[in-house]
């Protein structure tokens, strides 16, 4: 019976917490083991001298996934979590001086693009409508079900999905796909950027990634009250309400397997029995360090890692009225930037810079008259620690670019600074080389080659999180949690 089944989840990232909720509601006895002192995985909070910084993911889309989780648990979401829609998804800044507000109303966005760049408005409208169609007919199937179960391929909507997939989605890169659909370099660069939403290279990733803008530009961009940290906080509270036990500062040294079946885990040298184990840590780390299976670990590494990030958290004693919640300062040579990141495995001297400022939404996130800047640049996934000299060089290039484009001397206003490197990401989350999304989507087969949500040779072992199907980012991690929970439930009745 399910009520006698013990589940241990390794890692309290978003997917791990969401999986724990679903399984607890189903009647399983669930415990979560997390090596850090707080739940949330890549999502945690930095507080310093009155400034609050969301340390990890900063974009919130598809709140329906969170709402669905609370509905499944039969708990009122408003008592745990609140959010509001943002009218501008992002403000884009180009080296040629053009500034574009990507309104979350498609017609307004199209008009803005036409006015600022000359891009025909109908090109934007058509592209976003097509993104919606592909997402609804293709994404809704392949992102919500396991691709590694035969039953998925017999779903009645699969045929519709396969008919929707044109050759241009598979055999054109996202960049080539976009160049055929837009007249201006600004539009191409904006829509190429969406490849970075799963840590990929738009000059290698397939045109199928053109469905990603649907989430942000059609369905909308949102802001969670309290910042992104409120998401794991709310889910952790919900999980505890449903009886999930959290063991914080309790790392796992090994998954115990006997006769090809999971028996439990080893934490702090103590054995903890389990009928089912769900790993919410990087699939490579799971095989290499927790199962001690080098062959399986090496197989994961056959697929190219996603990009990582170098992040500066700056508390500024100045406000910038022209900036918004999300801001992008583009590289003048986008293709060279990605060539450096993926081919040369090197940082690029003229990086694209992303700035998130939550104090634009909530005054309590920075002292009055000041702002909290989350400043991120793309970085190659790497275990090698950046030297102080390298960090200083990167910081200087970021500062030079922002000073020029904003006509300011930022160094004069920085009073708080924290830095997170790829090796720091790996240390905190066990994500190999600090890759943000596990493997990249730099080939047409990436979605199918991403690790499954279950082990094909170890009974009772499952996987959730950004390194496995359906991928990284909050929406996909929440979808992945549902897939895992359903796989476990079906295993009980099969």
The full set of domain ranges for the chain reads: 1-44+228-304+440-494, 105-223, 307-380+386-420
Collect all residues with Cβ–Cβ distance below 8 Å to 351 and sequence separation of at least 6: 331, 337, 377, 378, 394, 397, 398, 401
Give 157's pLDDT tier (boundaries 50, 70, 90): low
Q: What is the CA radius of gyration of the chain?
A: 22
Nearest to 165 by CA among 182, 191, 188, 142: 142
Containing H/E element for 482? helix 474-493
- Residue 45, CB half-sphere, CA atoms under 13 Å: how many? 17
Q: Give residue 444's pLDDT.
A: 75
1-44+228-304+440-494: CATH topology: FAD/NAD(P)-binding domain (3.50.50)
Q: In whole angstroms, what is the distance from residue 219 CA to residue 376 CA?
A: 25
Phi and psi at residue 165, to the nearest 5°: -75, 110
Whole-number mean pLDDT of the chain?
Answer: 94
Containing H/E element for 263? strand 261-267
Nearest to 32 by CA among 324, 166, 232, 304: 232
Give 146's pLDDT tier (boundaries 50, 70, 90): confident
- The answer to whether residue 371 scores a pLDDT higher than 80 is yes
Q: Give residue 142's pLDDT.
A: 79
Query: Which pair of tokens denotes residue 121?
Result: 């408005």
Q: Give residue 1's pLDDT.
A: 46
User: Whole-model pTM?
Assistant: 0.95
* Average of per-residue pLDDT across 40-64: 97
Q: What is the distance of C-alpha 181 from the center of its chain? A: 27
- pLDDT, one tens digit per residue, over 185-197 is 999 999 999 999 9
Q: Give residue 486's pLDDT.
A: 96
- Number of C-beta neighbours around residue 387 at 10 A: 9
* Average of per-residue pLDDT across 302-314: 95
Collect all residues with Cβ–Cβ distance below 8 Å to 493 and sequence separation of at least 6: none
- Number of C-beta neighbours around residue 273 at 10 A: 11
Per DSSP, the three-state class of 137 is: helix
Query: Which pair of tokens denotes residue 129?
Result: 């409508």
* Average of per-residue pLDDT across 328-343: 97
Beta strands in 49-167 (DSSP E): 51-54, 83-86, 88-93, 99-103
Collect all residues with Cβ–Cβ distance below 8 Å to 163 and sequence separation of at least 6: none
Give 152's pLDDT tier (boundaries 50, 70, 90): low
- The answer to whether residue 494 scores a pLDDT higher than 70 is no
Per DSSP, the three-state class of 61 is: coil
- The answer to whether residue 3 scores a pLDDT higher than 80 is no
- pLDDT, one tens digit per residue, over 88-122 is 999 999 999 999 999 999 999 999 999 999 999 99
Q: Give residue 2's pLDDT.
A: 58
Collect all residues with Cβ–Cβ distance below 8 Å to 229 and sequence separation of at least 6: 40, 43, 44, 45, 54
- The answer to whether residue 240 scores a pLDDT higher than 70 is yes
């Amino acid at each position: 019976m399910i009520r006698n089944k013990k589940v241990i989840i390794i890692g309290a990232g978003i997917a791990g917490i969401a999986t724990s909720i679903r399984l607890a509601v189903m009647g399983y006895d669930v415990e979560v083991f997390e090596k850090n002192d707080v739940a949330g995985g890549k999502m945690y909070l930095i507080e310093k001298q009155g400034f609050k910084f969301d340390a990890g993911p900063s974009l919130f889309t598809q709140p329906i996934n969170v709402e669905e989780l609370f509905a499944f648990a039969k708990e009122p979401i408003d008592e745990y979590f609140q959010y509001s829609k943002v009218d501008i998804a992002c403000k884009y800044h180009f080296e040629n001086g053009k500034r574009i507000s990507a309104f979350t109303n498609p017609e307004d966005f199209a008009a803005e693009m036409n006015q600022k760049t000359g891009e025909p408005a109908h090109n934007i409208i058509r592209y976003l409508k097509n993104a919606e169609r592909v997402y609804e007919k293709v994404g809704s199937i392949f992102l919500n079900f396991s691709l590694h179960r035969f039953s998925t391929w017999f779903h009645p909507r699969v045929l519709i999905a396969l008919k929707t997939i044109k050759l241009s989605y598979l055999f054109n890169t996202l960049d080539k796909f976009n160049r055929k659909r837009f007249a201006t370099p600004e539009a191409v660069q904006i829509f190429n950027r969406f490849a970075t939403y799963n840590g990929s290279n738009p000059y290698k990733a397939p045109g199928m990634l053109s469905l990603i803008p649907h989430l942000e530009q059609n369905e909308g961009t949102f802001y969670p009250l309290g910042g992104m940290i409120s998401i794991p906080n709310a889910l952790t509270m919900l999980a505890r309400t449903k009886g999930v036990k959290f063991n914080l500062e309790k790392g796992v040294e090994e998954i115990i397997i006997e006769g090809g079946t999971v028996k439990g885990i080893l934490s702090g040298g103590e054995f903890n029995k389990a009928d089912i184990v769900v790993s919410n840590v990087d699939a490579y780390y799971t095989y290499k360090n927790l199962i001690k299976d080098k062959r399986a670990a090496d197989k994961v590494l056959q697929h190219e890692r996603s990009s990582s990030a170098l992040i500066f958290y700056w508390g500024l004693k100045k406000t910038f009225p022209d900036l918004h919640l999300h801001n992008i300062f583009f590289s003048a040579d986008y293709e060279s930037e990605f060539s450096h990141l993926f081919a040369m495995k090197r940082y690029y001297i003229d990086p694209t810079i992303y700035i998130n400022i939550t104090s634009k939404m909530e005054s309590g996130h920075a002292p009055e008259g000041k702002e909290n800047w989350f400043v991120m640049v793309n970085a190659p996934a790497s275990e090698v620690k950046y030297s102080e000299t390298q960090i200083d060089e990167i910081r200087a290039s970021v500062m030079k670019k922002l000073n020029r484009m904003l006509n300011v001397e930022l160094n004069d206003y920085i009073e708080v600074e924290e830095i997170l490197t790829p090796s720091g990401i790996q240390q905190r989350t066990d994500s190999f080389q600090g890759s943000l999304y596990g493997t990249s989507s730099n080939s047409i087969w990436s979605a199918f080659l991403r690790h499954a949500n279950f082990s094909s040779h170890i009974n009772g072992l499952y996987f959730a999180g950004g390194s496995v199907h359906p991928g990284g980012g909050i929406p996909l991690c929440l979808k992945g949690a549902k897939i895992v929970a359903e796989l476990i439930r079906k295993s009980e009745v099969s």
